[in-house]
Amino acid sequence: MVSLASFVAPFPCVALSGSRVGSSSASVSCRAFLPVLGGLSASVGVGCACGVDSVVRSAFPSACVFRVSSFAAGGRVSRASFALRSSALVSWCASRGGLLVAFPLGACPVGVAVSSFFRGCGSGSWGSVALALGLGCSVLVVSVCGLLWFTSPVPFPAPVGGQLSLF
């Protein structure tokens, strides 16, 4: 088995995204994943929301936090502000050759497609995944049932027959 720590170690930065529901299975999965990052030198990026974002900020007080208020137009926060915040986080990660780790709470909404612009159709997590893939960023999705899905624009040197283990 390939440990998650050895899997994540080559990435210079890790951006995390996920459900805003604090007591969700996505937040529980995120808490289980975070020790993997503890011993690594990767920079951590995250949003300003509740739920997964809050869990990450608590574990990594020095994380680069992308705040929706930074994208308010005329002093007002709108739906576009949230999309711009997520786009900035993903762009930060992609431009550094990093890994986006997403903890979505539900299935990907119909209408979300890989693209170089953000379109979440109501899901910031899945919109971030689609944008990351569109920008050529490596992505690890941790589903609510604990399944891992990884994709990368470059070959990853995993051992033949290797399998990732969350624990």
Q: Could you report the per-residue pLDDT of 91-101, keeping only the tens digit for each?
A: 999 999 999 99
| Residue 88 CA: distances (Å) to CA of 2, 42, 44 | 31, 18, 14
Per the model's pLDDT, the better-predicted residue between 131 and 75 turns out to be 131
- pTM across the whole model: 0.86
* pLDDT confidence of residue 3: 78
- Of 36, 37, 18, 16, nearest to 27 (Cα)? 18
| Residue 105 CA: distances (Å) to CA of 14, 42, 62, 144 | 19, 25, 26, 6
pLDDT in tens, 9-67: 899 999 999 988 777 888 888 988 899 888 788 899 999 999 999 999 999 999 999 99
Would you put residue 111 in left (φ > 0), alpha (ψ -120 to 50) or beta? left
CA within 13 Å, CB half, 98: 24
User: Which tokens is 128 given?
Assistant: 């971030």
**Looking at 4-162, which runs of residues are DSSP E strands?**
13-18, 43-47, 64-66, 99-103, 138-142, 148-151
* pLDDT confidence of residue 146: 64
Report all structural domains of the chain as residue ranges with CATH numbers, in order of start. 2-153 (3.40.50.450)
Nearest 5 degrees, angle CA 150-CA 155-CA 157?
A: 90
- Of 30, 73, 35, 33, nearest to 49 (Cα)? 30
Q: Rounded mean pLDDT of the chain?
A: 85
Distance of CA 93 to the CA centre of its chain: 9
Above pLDDT 70, what percent of the chain?
Answer: 86
* pLDDT confidence of residue 149: 72
